[in-house]
Structure 1
Amino acid sequence: MSETTSETTSETAYEGTRPLRERAVELDAVDPLAAKRDLFALDDDVVYLDGNSLGALPAHVPARVADVVQRQWGELRIRSWTESGWWTAPERIGDRIAPLVGAAPGQVVVADSTSVNVFKAVVAGVRLASADPRRTDVVVDATTFPTDGYVAESAARLTGHRIVPVDPADPAALRAELGPTTAVVLLNHVDFRSGRLHDLPALTAAVHDAGAVAVWDLCHSAGALPVGLDAHGVDLAVGCTYKYLNGGPGSPAFLYVAERHQAAFDSPLPGWNSHADPFAMSRDYAAVDGARRGRVGTPDILSMLALEAALDVWEGVTIEEVRAKSLALTDFFLRCVAEYAGGASVTSVAQVTPVTPAEHAARGSQVALRCGEAPVVMERLIARGVVGDLRRPDLLRFGFAPLYVSFADAERAASTLAEVLAELRA
């Protein structure tokens, strides 16, 4: 995989003789995305590095949601399904997300939760592969977010298939498991613990070489880096919208169904919203055309329209620009951590060890540091206004959302981390 970096933000030309704090100011001054920060509701005294769990609130969203509640619901009431466009929101918003994941219009629908969409995708993938009775295996990322594993295992039981766990960080091991018995492969684009970016193009090609269906979970990559679903021939994909897409807590997820599979996409959760004639209230199910087959029940309009409003912050931004800044931010943060909390001073502070790959081609938009005192370290960081998160037992996670995280944020987070570590070893 190749990655795009920016001359104005790349740390390859960093002059180590200058203080890192000064360098942060310089990088922020030439950051083409710096103005986007003003679009978010952020406190000046807090460094928010948890957008990989919950994205920050775009400042204009509350007023838009108030309009949905007060006017569209309060005044128009049932008329809003047509007059306010509620009925078409799932595919309309899906088409706004599509460019951020490299999909053409008509292939992304916003509906339900990530977990529900994983179930739809795995079972539908099994059904796509069902023409060959030898295909009895569902290969699953062994390091996956637990829910993906739970759902895949249940889907396998329901369809009479076998679960085969494989670590995608070892491509050779994954390829060794693929073969004529493989039906579906469910993988995470970015590992939620380590921040490792898996090679979607190469692994998708390997899955297809084995004649299987590739399903990708994009929760930690959508809105943070280029995905290229169409370009790389992905079959099905799911993703959440409350992380780097800033849709709000519990905002609905999305489902991608490649155009070539839409006519055969057989959802295990048929509902009236995906019926070809939903208001006929027919007892017999006839699926609607296109990705709308991924709809099930009545859309959750309040959170869905909050998400639609939040996506306005992406106007005028390309995902390549976001990726360039993401890499520069994580490079800079790692440099700051090495200088402030490593090197000659390492014997006087609690140690932190990066587990996120140094190579750009294998790094998402978060940095994970292993630390034996991780719980107390994160507690003290948050108390001092540096908000990351913890993955037990020993991982500190820092998510870098390029639309609102600055280089000054990265430097302050690293310096505060060093202070906390020093205190623990004093």
Structure 2
Amino acid sequence: MTTYPGPATAPPASGGNEILRRDTLDPLTSYAHAYATDGTVHLNGNSLGPPRADLIGELDRVVRGQWPRSQVQAWFRDGWLDLPRTIGDKLAPLLGAAPGQVVVAGETTSTTLFNALVAACRLRADRPVVLVEAASFPTDLYLAASVVRLLGRELVVESAEGFDSFLHTHGARVAVAVASPVDFRTGERREIGPTTARCHAAGAIALWDLSHASGVLPVDLDPSEVDLAIGCGYKYLGGGPGAPAFLYVAARLQPEVDFPLSGWHGHARPFAMAPAFEPAPGIDRGRTGTPPLLSLVALNHALDPLLEVGIDALYRRSRELAGSFLDCLGARRPDLLDRLVSPRDAERRGGHLALRIPGAERIEEELRGRGVLVDSRPPDLIRFAFAPLYVTHVQVQRAVGELCQVVGETP
């Protein structure tokens, strides 16, 4: 187990080095040493972050220890078979959910969203409309369009304001409303509680894509009475490339939810090999096929420090890192700060900021060469994500300095 040092005693802020002081005062700064960053500043954690440095040891424990010793019996002897539910219950506190409502079945984010979206439509079989925000992540739009073709439903795509208006005026026609708490481009937030309440007032199912929020933003699924939610494991959760997605199903819906992907691991008695599908009780009915063990091990390992810190402290740290970015940018290049498209108010955004700068893709490449990883989104957005445990205030200051130089060199 990795151990993390406590907070250092804060020295005076000599030379006005407020940024260094912020790192020194915050005990979460010490966590950064436990990640394999190779000296690079990782500000693209909303796409993929670095692993914990001891991940290889954890994988080695399974590959060298459990697998050769137990072979197929490891599914039972070493708890492999239970990992989808075990990790789901482990993840639940970061999502504001009670145990028994989250499963990591081993599927991709796209597959998990498809499964949830069809199930949501089946819960409201008498309603024709699937409602989605126009600014949703492309996968959400693509899958929603596919599902309505498959089921003979109607797709309605609206702006953020139009989404709420449609629920108010045409909500009786809406089977499911799909939304995200964080705009993947700008970082602007959509409040989960009020939006879910609007869905329920209209009698619609609320389905949330938490991919850009889980692990960095409190989402409070149970208090908000969310129906269904999905999210990926490779962004702020740090589960690694292609980490499996999670599925949340509120306990009140589990007896009636009907998933289209009815694989044998979602069966009530999977090893009975029965010819007819009988859904498992509870959240296990959201499982499908044999889970990808090593991916689950990596995700399980990534969650430990996040749970140790807790979602409120993670959110606080991310906001403060973003604040340092804005402070440094405003002091050095106020003209670039004027290009901010994210909300200035920290309460109205998630874990990343976005600047609108021409030549964004080229600037991303230039920064990569300088040891600062960000990502761009067409046509001209550069995103800076502030994952709370492996990014420091000093690194943020360095990133701003490199950005100012690169933009200054841009013709």
Map of 1:52 onto structure 2: 46
Question: Equivalent residue for 1:228?
Answer: 220
Check 1:147–1:172 CA distance in 2 against 1; reply closer, same or farther (3 A cut): closer
Give per-residue Cα distances to partners, 1:69-89, cap 9 Å, x unaligned: 222222311010101101111
Q: Which residue of 1 aligns with 2:355?
A: 369
**Letter in structure 1 aligned against 2:91:** I
Paired residue type of 1:202: P
Could you say if the C-alpha distance between residues 185 and 86 of structure 1 is closer, same or farther in structure 2, counting changes exceeding 3 Å?
same
Q: Which amino acid aligns with 2:45?
A: G
1:293 equivalent in alignment to 2:288: no
Residue of 329, 344, 347 corresponding to 1:337: 329
Residue-by-residue CA offset, 1:41-60 (whole Å, 9 max, x unaligned): 1223x211111101210112
Which residue of the partner structure matches residue 171 of structure 2? 179
Question: Aligned letter for 2:361?
Answer: P
2:296 aligned partner: 304
1:352/1:371 contact within 8 Å kept: no
Residue 419 (structure 1) aligned to one of 405, 408, 411: 405
Q: Which residue of 2 aligns with 1:11?
A: none
Residue 179 of structure 1 aligns to a residue in which SS?
Answer: helix
SS at match of 1:255: strand
| Map of 1:42 onto structure 2 | 37
Picking from 196, 199, 209, the partner of 1:217 is: 209
Deviation of 1:375 after TM superposition, in Å, equals 1.7
Looking at structure 2, the residues matched to 96 and 282 of structure 1 have their Cα atoms a distance apart, in angstroms, of 31
Q: Does 1:153 align with 2:148?
A: no
Corresponding position of 2:3: none
1:119 and 2:114 matched: yes
Count of equivalent residues: 399
> RMSD over aligned Cα, in angstroms?
1.8
Deviation at 1:316, TM superposition (A): 2.5
1:78 has 2:75 as partner: no
Output the TM-score relative to the length of structure 1. 0.90
- SS of equivalent residue, structure 1 residue 51: coil
Quick one: distance in 1 between partners of 2:203 and 2:27? 43
SS for the counterpart of 2:309 is: coil
CA distance in 1, matches of 2:340, 2:290: 44
Q: Which moved more, 1:176-185 or 1:359-368?
A: 176-185
> Which residue type is aligned with residue 367 of structure 1?
L
Counterpart of 1:95, as a letter, is D
2:133 corresponding residue in structure 1: 141
Q: What TM-score do the two structures reach when normalised by structure 2?
A: 0.93
Rounded Cα–Cα distance in structure 2 between residues aligned with 1:352 and 1:376: 20
Q: Distance in 2 between matches of 1:85 and 1:196?
A: 40
What CA deviation, in whole Å up to 9, does each residue of 1:313-346 have, x standing for no partner? 224211111111111111221121222122xxx4
Determine the structure 2 residue equivalent to 1:67: 61
Give the unaligned 5+ runs of structure 1.
1-7, 9-14
Secondary structure at the counterpart of residue 380 of structure 1: helix
CA distance in 1, matches of 2:282, 2:34: 34
- Inter-partner Cα distance in structure 2 for 1:129 and 1:180: 11
Match of 1:388 among 353, 365, 374: 374
Show the counterpart of 1:5: none
Of the structure 1 ranges 32-41 and 103-112, higher mean CA displacement relative to structure 2 is found in: 32-41
In the TM superposition, 1:346-357 aligns within 5 A as 346=335, 353-357=339-343
Provide the rounded CA distance (Å) in 2 between the counterparts of 1:333 and 1:167: 29
| Residue matched to 2:4 | none
Q: Deviations over 1:102-151 (max 9, x none)?
A: 00000000020111111111111111112xx2x11000121111111111
* Distance across 2 between alignment mates of 1:190 and 1:274: 31
Cα distance in 1 for residues equivalent to 2:261 and 2:246 = 15
- Cα distance, 1:418 vs. partner? 0.8
Q: Percent identity?
A: 43
